[in-house]
Amino acid sequence: MHRRYSLLAVLSLFVVAVTVWNCTMLLRYSGLPFALDPINPHSARVVSLRGLELPQGLHAGDRVEYAHQSTEARLSLLAVIEFASTTPEHSLPLVLTHSDGHRTRIDVPSRHLAAVPAFHVSTYLAFTWFILACLITLATLWRGRDRAAWGIAFWAIAFECGMAFYLAHASGWTILGFALASQLCYLAARIGFFLMADAVAAPALDHRTRRVFRIVFIATLAIGYAYELGYSLSFVFGGILVPPLVTLVWVLPYAVATAMLIAAHRGAEAAARPRLRWMFWSGVILTFGILLSNVALFGYATSYPIQIACYILAFAGLLYSVLRHRVVDMRFVVNRAIVYSAGLTVVVAIFILLESFAESFALGKRESLLLEFGVPLLIGFSLEAIRKRLEKLGEWVFFRHKFENEVALKRFANQCGYIENPDHLIEQTLGELRAHTSTPAVAFYWQEREGVYQLLAQSGDARFAPELDEDDRAVVAQRAERGPCGLEDLASALGDDGLALPMMVRGALLGTVVIVNRPGERYPADEQELLESLVHEVGSALHALHARENARLITAIAEGGLSGNEIRDRARALMPPV
């Protein structure tokens, strides 16, 4: 367990570090100040970017013949085509063919594009996207419930790592190295996304259908990666650019995973359908964003912001699905840690923005020194308040309903000891559990005579055994473990779908409360702990009521105020635990 938490802590620090790196590099994004509009696989036209003037000697409409460029120039052109970040002040030796057929050679320096106002909207959108990816990863890493959660975590981490290579400053052969590394990360991201879809859709699809989807996914993944690898190598070494429409094959793995989600919707249980719908539409939006990243359908200036907006919507939808529809274990205390980590990530991003803004002022040496000391202090004081507000907002948005249920159950655990009527105590216990756990059914067993636990009350539609033997596997498990036990694989008379909560008083098992699992999920560890505490308080309160009635009977007998028949009737009514 300690090793697992150590690994999760290291992964979490890595994810936060990658997120901070990506946000930092966004503010330092530099590239060549033009775009390329392909004419054919061998040449393209120069296109100006909004808000930027073309360098001297470069005109919109000039042709770039790939075969006439040096290998070093094609490496830089690869960064232009991919809109990857280049080393600041890096110069590209470019051979141009003008409209009159005349060729010239000019050197085009890279520029700090993040400082251009036209890029600000895209920068802020990308900030939001990175923070959402960090939130998804932290939530699924720490509270992942199943293979679907781990698939989402693997996908988000790989996606962020791919962007880290994409945004890293590079020149020469480093551009190709980073491009190949980012392609490997995006390959891993596609695998993670499919693992998520496969795990979520598995209960609603038969084995044959799942196998078909897996075969199709592997085929499209192999074809897509072969294209992506050949895309870069053929351009750098052969001067040939694969037509943009062919890039659709690299989008197909996401389309297959998304189709698998909608295929499972019809056969899924009612409780699982909301999650499938959220994940399906998030997958559709994400697939469209991936398509725009490969084929700028509306031109770069319009396609890039739409692409980032699609990523944000898709990541937000998946984050909601992760938290709301129980792909993760919703422990409140740990969720606070997740919210804190996410809030810290937001604060760091804001700090980077403010620091970058402060650095944009040209000040003297003395003023710069004051700025270096004063700005961090001012930012530190102000961002602490922002962090606290982010924590409260996160709890209110994601965890409010769960928190309110926990408060209600804890309140009842504190108050149940003051209920005077045993029947009222049992009735209210079942009512509180039904209302604040959303369980389909709950039952209350009490040891009425030696070796037998009697069903005193139940709520819900489930059928419970009227009696439990002291050697029933669920009873034995509670005595042995002195804590809650799941009914699966116990072969108990209580069935195999639920949780047995012991009422232990001074080491003796006086009774048990059986609570049926919610559809499609089991109770997480934190909820089991809370329910165990509540049931223990109820058992102690009921034991105290019986003890008080025993004491009253003994007092009445000692005073001689009861006949023999009255003594016998009252003794039978007390149901003393043994």
For residue 522, which phi and psi values (nearest 5 degrees)?
A: -110, 165
Contact between residue 306 and residue 292 where contact means Cβ atoms under 8 Å apart: yes
Q: What is the distance between the alpha carbons of residues 495 and 489, in angstroms, rounded to a whole number? A: 9
* pLDDT score for 138: 82
With tokens 């989600």, the residue in question is 261
Provide the H-helix boundaries in 399-447.
400-415, 422-437
Tokens of 577: 């635990």
Tokens of 369: 């020194």
- Say whether 370 sits in a helix, a strand or coil: helix
Domain 27-115 has CATH 2.30.42: yes
* pLDDT score for 348: 56
Burial class (CB in 10 A: 0-12, 13-18, 19+), 38: middle
Q: What is the distance between the alpha carbons of residues 434 and 516, in angstroms, rounded to a whole number? A: 10
- Choosing among 3.40.930.10, 3.30.450.40, 3.40.47.10, 3.40.50.300, the CATH entry for 416-572 is 3.30.450.40
User: Half-sphere exposure (CA, 13 Å, Cβ side) for 7?
Assistant: 5
Q: What is the distance between the alpha carbons of residues 557 and 205, in angstroms, rounded to a whole number? A: 68
* pLDDT score for 333: 34
Q: What residues have CB less than 8 Å from 17, skipping those under 6 apart?
A: none
pTM: 0.58
Q: Would you say how long the chain is, in residues?
A: 578
* pLDDT score for 329: 46
* pLDDT score for 216: 93
Amino acid found at 323: L
Neighbours of 68 (CB within 10 A): 17
Burial class (CB in 10 A: 0-12, 13-18, 19+), 159: buried
Residues of the chain with pLDDT under 50: 1-2, 328-337, 361-369, 373, 575-578
How does strand 111-112 pair with strand 485-486? unpaired
- Say whether 443 sits in a helix, a strand or coil: strand
Contact between residue 512 and residue 536 where contact means Cβ atoms under 8 Å apart: no
User: Half-sphere exposure (CA, 13 Å, Cβ side) for 428?
Assistant: 20
Contact between residue 165 and residue 178 where contact means Cβ atoms under 8 Å apart: yes
* pLDDT score for 578: 40
For the CA atoms of 327, 332, 334, 340, the dihedral, rounded to the nearest 10 degrees, stands at: 110
Listed residue (395, 333, 321, 394) closest to 526, CA to CA: 333
The domain spans of the chain are 27-115, 331-398, 416-572
